[in-house]
């Protein structure tokens, strides 16, 4: 197993991509802290992790709160003695025309999707550099400016994810020399609750027509990439924004 003796924190891990990541890390030998806004849902994922023979810890955490994040990292260290891997997966997506966006819409999205990743990386990074080893994996999007394309109705989301790719590069410059690799993953259309709007709005066929692979991605496919980036096999990769979209950006 590639991640034996490692401890991982996965935010937004109660369902979808986050849950798949938490389980994939556990299968590779990591103990996993499952973090999200519902303690009950997090515990369900921990129960699955423990069935795999690994240890888990369910923690309710609002990633936009510095106090919540610091407490999450402290409890992780108290339970497992270390933090080796951070997967900044927590995020929100709402659809609204730009001219109708409120200050609250903007602030909530940026606070969760961008500020949350900053807070988690800062808290976990301080622990990682003490051991001179770590992996920070940030979840961006193909809708994140420089590494992808823009879509209507999600200007706030696009801005937040563009900030994630920029933050990833900046953190990699500072932390890589101290043994902590920092990378971003830019998913395309993945079959999760976030894609329900596309299905229910009758836009699925249009979306699939733009994807050479001809289907939505599966959460487990994102999880496989996370496992690789968290492992020693990816030791020479830092500061990258890796697209996983079934070929969408080539079309």
For the stretch 189-206, pLDDT in tens is 999 987 766 665 567 888
According to DSSP, the β-strands at 56-60 and 31-36 are: parallel
Residues 169 and 179: their CA atoms lie apart, in Å, by 15
Residues 83 and 163: their CA atoms lie apart, in Å, by 24
Q: Please give the distance of CA 235 from its chain centroid, rounded to a whole number.
A: 19
The two tokens of residue 36 are 């999200």
Q: Which residues contact 44 (CB under 8 A, 6 or more apart)?
A: 14
* Dihedral, 227, 229, 230, 234 alpha carbons, nearest 10: 120
Burial class of 239 by CB neighbour count within 10 A (0 to 12, 13 to 18, 19+): middle
Q: Strand (E) positions, 65-165?
A: 85-88, 134-139
pLDDT of the residue at 247: 95
Q: Strand (E) positions, 158-240?
A: 180-187
pLDDT, mean over the chain: 95
Q: What's the pTM value of the predicted model, to 2 decimals?
A: 0.96
236 is catalytic: no
pLDDT of the residue at 207: 86
For the stretch 88-138, pLDDT in tens is 999 999 999 999 999 999 999 999 999 999 999 999 999 999 999 999 999
According to DSSP H, which parts of 3-65 are helical? 16-27, 39-51
CB atoms within 10 A of CB 242: 17
Say if residues 239 and 182 touch (Cβ distance below 8 Å): yes
Nearest to 137 by CA among 180, 169, 182: 182
Long-range contacts of 128-132 (CB under 8 A, 24+ apart): 128/83, 128/84, 128/86, 128/175, 128/179, 128/180, 129/175, 129/178, 129/179, 129/180, 131/82, 131/84, 131/179, 132/178, 132/179
Please give the average per-residue pLDDT across 162-177, as a whole number.
97
Catalytic residue among 36, 134, 139, 157: 157
Q: Strand (E) positions, the chain?
A: 7-11, 31-36, 56-60, 85-88, 134-139, 180-187, 241-244
Class of domain 7-250: alpha beta
């Amino acid at each position: 197993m590639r991640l034996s003796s490692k401890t991982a924190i996965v935010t937004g891990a109660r369902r979808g991509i986050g849950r798949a990541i938490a389980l994939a890390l556990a299968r590779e030998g990591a103990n996993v802290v499952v973090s999200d806004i519902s303690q009950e849902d997090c515990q369900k994922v921990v129960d699955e992790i423990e069935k795999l023979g690994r240890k888990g810890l369910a923690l309710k955490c609002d990633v936009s709160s510095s106090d919540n994040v610091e407490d999450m990292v402290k409890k992780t260290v108290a339970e497992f003695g270390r933090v080796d891997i951070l997967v900044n997966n927590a995020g929100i997506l709402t659809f609204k025309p730009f001219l109708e966006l409120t200050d609250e819409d903007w602030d909530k999205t940026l606070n969760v999707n961008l500020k949350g990743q900053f807070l988690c990386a800062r808290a976990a990074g301080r622990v990682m550099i003490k051991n001179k080893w770590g992996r920070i994996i940030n979840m961006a999007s193909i809708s994140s400016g420089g590494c992808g394309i823009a879509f209507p109705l999600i200007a706030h989301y696009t801005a937040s994810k563009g900030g994630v790719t920029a933050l990833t590069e900046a953190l990699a410059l500072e932390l890589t020399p101290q043994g902590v690799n920092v990378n971003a993953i830019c998913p395309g259309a993945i079959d999760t609750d976030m894609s329900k709007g596309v299905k229910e709005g009758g836009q699925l066929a249009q979306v699939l027509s733009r994807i050479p692979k001809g289907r939505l991605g599966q959460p487990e496919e994102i999880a496989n990439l996370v496992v690789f980036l968290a492992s020693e096999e990816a030791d020479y990769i830092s500061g990258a924004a890796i697209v996983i979209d079934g070929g969408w950006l080539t079309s």
